[in-house]
């Protein structure tokens, strides 16, 4: 979008990713934890239904990782320090990091999450620039980060993994296949276990095989958009412009996993009311009308269903609550419920960033 800013040099994409971010923030305020296996998740109680948000490298050595049930993690690392998630602390640290990235003249910054961002910059020495960024972030926040350098967003993102921890790695069209070609497709950003399994059924197991595939051959399996997108991903190609247009939320949702499955309809209704109140708080802060509602229900043990409805634009909390309760009337009576979720979709402003690239989860 804007490649004319800053000093001379070639445009590069940097992907900056904080190392074990959440665990590192916890160590900053409790230095005595340095070097110990730290697991952050839920309310910090390993007897509850919750999962791991982040584990320190010391805990990862025992096989603990993000998304693992807290109970299982605690069993694997008996002497782990288990801490509750503290969103505010991570958000504050994140904002300081992003500020530091933006403060460099000519840099465009696209935030992907608490602990990572793309930085667009023009320079003849991207490695030197990356080291400057690392030093600046370390000085300002005492946090270490790794930096991937690429000629596309995808290559920069994938490159970061080779730089961890606290390193720098460059991936371009010139070395993409040398580095990635022999690796399984699952290592690509946007290819998970399902898609890699479906690719394998087509005889495509490695990145090189995906890169060499004809996009048209993937359409019957993946559809007109995702088929060609996966082929492009295999080559590491795609967008190369960092888009700093502020992100606009499409909607807000809240969900709760109950520590004990709910069977009483009155308890269910209370839970829906509470979810609605929390969702409406977030929506009200946006100042945009609600145009749709979706209720998610997980019946024990794991059967999840969703029910959604478009609604006429409204700001009225009572109306929205009434529609949410309407949806909840579709819940099967007497069947134990493990999770309830409510999502409100909001009207989008005309100038919001469009999804010009089919990706999920942030850009």
Is 345 a catalytic site residue? Answer: no
Phi, psi for residue 218 in degrees, rounded to 5: -90, -10
Asked if residues 334 and 261 have their Cβ atoms less than 8 Å apart, the reply is no
Min CB(106)–DNA separation in Å: 25
Active-site option among 26, 32, 95, 116: 116
Nearer to DNA, 33 or 51 (CB): 51
Does position 114 interact with DNA (CB under 7 A)? The reply is yes
> CB of 269 within 8 A of CB of 146?
no
- Residue (3 or 304) nearer to DNA, CB: 304
Could you tell me the smallest distance in angstroms from the CB atom of residue 143 to DNA? Answer: 14
CA 15 centroid distance within chain: 14
Selected range binding DNA among 2-10, 96-104, 138-146, 243-251, rule: CB under 7 A: 243-251
* Alpha carbon distance 128, 133 (integer Å): 9
Structure tokens at 255: 């969900």
Task: Report the C-alpha gap between 328 and 268 in whole angstroms.
Answer: 8
Copy the structure tokens of residue 148: 């991937």
Residue 358 touching DNA (CB under 7 A):
yes
> How far is residue 326's CA from residue 22's CA, in Å, rounded to a whole number?
39
Looking at residues 258 to 287 of the shown chain, list those that interact with DNA (rule: CB under 7 A): 278, 282
Q: Which stretch binds DNA (CB under 7 A): 68-76, 120-128, 134-142, 263-271?
A: 68-76
47-55, 120-128, 130-138, 168-176 -> range binding DNA (CB under 7 A): 47-55
Size of the site for DNA (CB under 7 A): 64
Between 172 and 307, name the residue whose CB sits nearer to DNA. Answer: 307
Tell me which of 51, 136, 200, 239 binds DNA, using CB under 7 A: 51
84 makes contact with DNA (CB under 7 A): no
Answer for which of 45, 86, 127, 255 binds DNA (CB under 7 A) is 255
Q: Given the structure tokens 């504050």, which residue do they identify? A: 92
Q: Give yes or no for residue 155 binding DNA (CB under 7 A).
A: no
Segment interacting with DNA (CB under 7 A) among 27-35, 61-69, 123-131, 260-268: 61-69
Burial class (CB in 10 A: 0-12, 13-18, 19+), 233: buried
Binding flags for DNA, 2-41, as an x/- string (CB under 7 A):
----------------------------------------
Instruction: Give the relative orientation of helices 21-29 and 87-102 as an angle to the nearest 10 degrees.
Output: 100
Among candidates 178, 120, 177, 114, which has minimal Cα distance to 149?
A: 120
Q: Please name the helix (run of DSSP H) or strand (run of DSSP E) that holds residue 234, with its range, or none.
A: helix 215-235
Helix (H) or strand (E) holding 109: strand 108-113
* Residues 219-238 interacting with DNA (rule: CB under 7 A): 222-227
Minimum distance of DNA from residue 32's CB (angstroms): 26
On whether the CB atoms of residues 227 and 219 are closer than 8 A, the answer is yes
- Is 310 one of the binding residues for DNA (CB under 7 A)? yes
Please compute, for residue 226, the number of CA atoms within 13 A of its CA located in the half-sphere on the CB side: 12
Residue 126, preceding bond cis, omega within 30 degrees? no
Active site residues: 116
Q: Give residues in contact with DNA (CB under 7 A).
A: 42, 49-51, 53, 66-69, 71-72, 112-116, 157, 188-196, 222-227, 249-257, 278, 282, 292, 294, 301-302, 304-310, 338-339, 341, 343, 355, 358-362
């Amino acid at each position: 979008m804007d490649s004319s800013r800053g000093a001379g040099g070639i445009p590069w994409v940097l992907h900056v990713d904080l190392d074990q971010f959440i665990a590192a923030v916890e160590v900053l305020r409790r230095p005595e934890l340095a070097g110990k296996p730290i697991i952050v998740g839920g309310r910090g109680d390993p007897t509850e239904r919750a999962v791991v948000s982040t584990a320190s490298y010391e805990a990862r050595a025992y096989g603990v990782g993000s998304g693992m049930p807290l109970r299982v993690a605690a069993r694997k690392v008996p002497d782990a320090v288990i801490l509750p998630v503290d969103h505010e602390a991570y958000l504050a640290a994140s904002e300081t990091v992003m500020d530091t990235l933006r403060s460099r003249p000519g840099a465009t910054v696209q935030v992907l999450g608490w602990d990572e961002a793309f930085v667009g910059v023009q320079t003849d020495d991207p490695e030197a620039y990356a080291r400057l960024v690392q030093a600046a972030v370390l000085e300002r926040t005492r946090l270490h980060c790794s930096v991937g350098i690429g000629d596309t967003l995808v290559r920069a993102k994938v490159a970061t993994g080779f730089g961890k921890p606290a390193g720098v790695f460059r991936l371009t069209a010139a070395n993409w296949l040398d580095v990635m070609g022999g690796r399984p497709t699952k290592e690509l950003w946007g290819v998970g276990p399902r898609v890699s399994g479906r690719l394998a059924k087509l005889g495509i197991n490695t990145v090189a095989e995906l890169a060499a595939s004809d996009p048209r051959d993937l359409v019957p399996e993946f559809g007109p958009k995702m088929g060609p997108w996966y082929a492009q991903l295999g080559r590491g190609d795609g967008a190369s412009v960092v888009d700093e247009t502020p992100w606009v939320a499409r909607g807000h949702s809240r969900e709760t996993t109950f520590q004990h499955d709910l069977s009483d309809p009155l308890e269910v209704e209370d839970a829906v009311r509470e979810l609605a109140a929390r969702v409406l708080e977030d929506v009200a802060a946006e100042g945009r009308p609600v145009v749709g509602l979706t209720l998610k229900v997980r019946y024990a043990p794991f059967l999840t269903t969703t029910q959604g409805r478009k609604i006429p634009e409204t700001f009225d909390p009572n109306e929205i609550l009434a529609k949410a309760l309407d949806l909840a009337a579709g819940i099967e009576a007497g069947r134990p419920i493990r999770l309830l979720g409510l999502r409100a979709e909001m009207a989008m402003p005309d100038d919001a960033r469009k999804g010009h690239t089919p990706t999920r989860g942030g850009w």
